[in-house]
Copies of this chain bind each other. A is one copy, B any other.
Amino acid sequence: MKKLINRPEDVVREALQGIEQAHADLVRVSFDPNYIVRADAPVQGKTALISGGGSGHEPMHGGFVGAGMLDAACPGEVFTSPTPDQMEAATKAVNGGAGVVHIVKNYTGDVMNFEMAAELCRSEGIEVEAVLVDDDVAVQDSLYTAGRRGVGTTVLLEKIGGAAAEEGRPLKEVADVCREVNANGRTMGMALTSCTVPAAGKPTFELGEDEMEIGIGIHGEPGRERMKLKTASEIVDLMATAVVDDIPFSAGDNVLAFVNGMGGTPLIELYVLYNELARFLKGRNITIARNLIGSYITSLEMAGFSITLLKMSDDFIRLWDAPVKTPGLRWGV
């Protein structure tokens, strides 16, 4: 296993220590239980947003904590759900009296643990609204999930929901904005290579030298189909068709087009893929109103990418453009 780490069991804690030292102007880090909160938490009177999930998907979620996005993030061990006590402590740390939205990607462990944390918090008088993200069109059920997996739309939801909270919307409205993002976002991913979980020490799966896997999940869960490697143009056609036909997205729609690297994909390839996606969408008379290109929801060093499309209302565009100041996403401030 080739990794720039010390002991596998220390990776998450040491990365959190790195984040703590690098971004003290934006966030604070708590250990045992582990969570990251905005430096000025709790913000009195503001609806708070927290998310969480296994580590290994950086910058999501810890890199999205800050003004205009998340109030806190709970990182589990690599590809492992965080525990209810992390979520409970984070919820208490960010509650400014206006309640807390839990953004939960649809994986069985995450869902169960966030539910337990929400119950604990409610019993102590904190209002909690849970929002489920299940945007992956690739498979109906998966290794870690009943129903669709939560993937790329999560990043967009955290930005747009975070902006809605920042401008003072109450708990239920913020939760509804988040649910609306999930309802209008769809994703599909693929991989050229596997990744290696530090504690496992060997690749999660194997792919032949000329093979790729279409529809893969962000933990290397099996996708739709393993096939011979194709050109960027053919791969985008395959994946974008599956995404567009799902809601469906239609001629005249405005979308945010998100081309996301899985961690080991060079940026130059993401721009080649974006060029193909722009061509594909033009052919369907779908307009790219906004875009995001880079590695924002990753699977350690996996080579591959995902396409997320989000149907954009005027409200979504305004919330997307609103200032954000986090380690992983920043503009307007």
Contact = CB atoms under 8 A, between A and B. Distances in A.
Interface string A212-240: 10000000000000000101110100000
A107 to B, nearest CB: 19
A200 interface: no
A138 B269 CA distance: 29
Given A4-B192, A231-B5, A18 B300 contact: no
A333 B324 CA distance: 10
A63 B267 contact: yes
Interface stretch (A52-60, A83-91, A243-251): A52-60
A123 interface: no
Given A266-B263, A301-B303, A14 B272 contact: yes
Interface stretch (A97-105, A143-151, A273-281): A273-281
Contacts of A212: 2
Contacts of A16: 271
Contact of A331 (B5, B193, B330): B330
Given A21-B274, A22-B293, A278-B21, A3 B269 contact: yes
Nearest to A235: B4
Interface residues of A, number: 60
- Chain B CB within 10 Å — which of A268, A275, A288 has the most? A268
Interface in A186-202: 192-193
B14 A275 contact: yes
A302 to B, nearest CB: 9
A15 B275 contact: yes
A301 B266 contact: yes
Interface string A2-24: 11111100011011111101100
Interface string A292-321: 010100101101110000000000000000
A298 B266 contact: yes
A332 interface: yes
Given A268-B11, A331-B330, A18 B273 contact: yes
